[in-house]
Structure 1
Amino acid sequence: MKFRDVIFRFAILGSFLLSGICFSQITNHQFEELENLQKSEPRNVIIFIKTYWCHYCKVLENTTFKNQKVFKIINQNFYFIQFNAEEKRDINFAGKIFRYKPTGTNTGIHKLAETLTEGKTTYPSLIILNPQNEIIFQFNGYLKSSEFLEILDKIKP
């Protein structure tokens, strides 16, 4: 094997290893998993309520949630749920079944998003629940990484 081939193989291997570091992300859970997760290891839950058409939701996803410090703190200390407020499937959460509620021909909102935002649904919304599913923090709008880190530092165990 030539020296050039060895260097090329190391370069390929290195790029694969680095891509895993650069593209780390927050572990996303489903509402239906929370009961079992909380039994094994109680944690606060961060719920990111969004829609696919929301510009600020995408900015939050691509900046704040991609911040290395943010996703490390979330993955180590919280459960995270990314929730599309226009989800059409029924969701069983906290002993209740929540359903999609049409509001027009091609529009609607999931009743769980409406419940979690206490009827004041805007996008994006961040809700933090304690292990007993009680709201301990609520914010509607975009947060910079630095702002979100301050909040996480105050709430994390």
Structure 2
Amino acid sequence: MKFCDVIFKSAILGSVLLSGICFSQIKNHQFEELENLQKSHNQNDIIFIKTDWCDYCKAMENTTFKNQKVIEAINQNFYFINFNAEEKRNINFAGKIFHYKPTGTNTGIHELAETLTQDKTTYPSLIILNPQNEIIFQYNGYLRSSELLDILNKIEK
């Protein structure tokens, strides 16, 4: 076997083996799915409220939510929603339809973001709801992966 063939086959095998480890990610759901998901398996919901322009939100997405232990904890024990607070589509959640509210020419906020943060919306915000859609935890600001894991472990106990 030629040296190039060995290198090529090793590279292919390595990438296949690592793809399952390195590229696992948090399973993201939509608000409209939660009712049916709760019927089959009651779990708490994590809602990560962010915007596209928020640097701290991007940092959390690129660090905290890329941590393998965080990914495993969320995927095993929670339903996760990555929610852009400037989402323009109507969202049907908990028996109510929530709308986007323009606040300027190219700015606005979604009613659901305001409702979940109890009109104290800052970015990022992390909201955890129980299966009855009651807020059991809320944090406004950046969370490191170790901090989020501590919170998730306490909620699961």
> What is the TM-score normalised by the length of structure 2?
0.95
- Cα displacement (A) at 1:55: 0.1
**Runs in 1 of length 4+ with deviation above 2 angstroms?**
1-4
Other-structure match for 1:127: 127
> Residue type of the partner of 2:111?
K
Gaps of 5+ in 1: none
Q: Secondary structure at the residue paired with 1:148? A: helix
Matches within 5 A, 1:1-157: 2=2, 4-156=4-156
- Cα displacement (A) at 1:2: 4.2
Structure 2: how far apart are the matches of 1:132 and 1:46? 13
Structure 2: how far apart are the matches of 1:85 and 1:146? 25
Q: Percent identity?
A: 82
> What is the TM-score normalised by the length of structure 1?
0.95
- Cα displacement (A) at 1:156: 1.6
Q: After superposition, what is the alpha-carbon deviation per residue over 1:58-114, rounded to whole angstroms, capped at 9, x for unaligned?
A: 000111111111110000000000000000000000000000000011100000000
Q: Secondary structure at the residue paired with 1:75? A: helix
Q: Secondary structure at the residue paired with 1:80? A: strand
Structure 1: how far apart are the matches of 2:141 and 2:90? 26
Gaps of 5+ in 2: none
Q: Count residues with an aligned counterpart.
A: 157
Structure 2: how far apart are the matches of 1:32 and 1:72? 23
Structure 2: how far apart are the matches of 1:28 and 1:43? 14
User: Aligned-pair RMSD on alpha carbons?
Assistant: 1.2
Q: Secondary structure at the residue paired with 2:114? A: helix
